[in-house]
Amino acid sequence: MTDAAASVPRRNPTWLVATIAGGFGLFYAYAVWNALGNLTQAAPLGLNALGWIIWIFATVFPILAFIAAFTVGYRGPALHLALVMLTGLALTAVFWLDVVAYTTTRTSSLLA
């Protein structure tokens, strides 16, 4: 084997990257679905601007976290992709707990 061939990094098969991203994507999609469900429950109560911002950002954040994690990890080894996707999912879970805690304890500040 020549030095030129040894220095070329091996890429993951597309099916492996798609399987890892798709598996984690289901968990990210659940976070989005959960935020949309809470938004639709809170909207008829009459949300003010802060309430709309919180629930819309809670819906968009998992999508942004998935895009960021995929962008960072898809060119590396499969294990790195899985770990980066898991880290993004953990960040999404922490953010979701913050949103739930804030909206539970400060409900009156979110309603018009």
Using CA atoms, how far apart are residues 109 and 94, in angstroms rounded to an integer?
22
Q: What are the C-alpha distances in Å from 71 to residues 74, 77, 89, 92? A: 6, 13, 14, 16
3-state secondary structure of 47: strand
Q: What is the pLDDT of residue 44?
A: 84
Give pLDDT tens digits for 51-97: 899 999 999 999 999 999 999 999 999 999 999 999 999 999 999 99
Using CA atoms, how far apart are residues 81 and 101, in angstroms rounded to an integer?
30
The answer to whether residue 45 is domain-embedded is yes
- pLDDT of residue 29 exceeding 70, the answer is yes
The answer to whether residue 82 is domain-embedded is yes
Number of domains in the chain: 1
The answer to whether residue 3 is domain-embedded is no
Q: Which residues contact 24 (CB under 8 A, 6 or more apart)?
A: 66, 69, 82, 85, 86, 88, 89
Q: What is the pLDDT of residue 104?
A: 84
Q: What is the pLDDT of residue 25?
A: 96
- pLDDT of residue 45 exceeding 90, the answer is no
The answer to whether residue 68 is domain-embedded is yes
Q: Are 19 and 82 in contact (CB under 8 A)?
A: no
Structural domain boundaries, residue 32: 12-110
Q: What is the pLDDT of residue 1?
A: 57
Q: Are 67 and 5 in contact (CB under 8 A)?
A: no
Please report, as a single letter, which amino acid is at residue 45.
L
What's the pTM? 0.85
The answer to whether residue 6 is domain-embedded is no
The answer to whether residue 34 is domain-embedded is yes
The answer to whether residue 5 is domain-embedded is no
- Joined together, the tokens standing for residue 13 give 């098969």
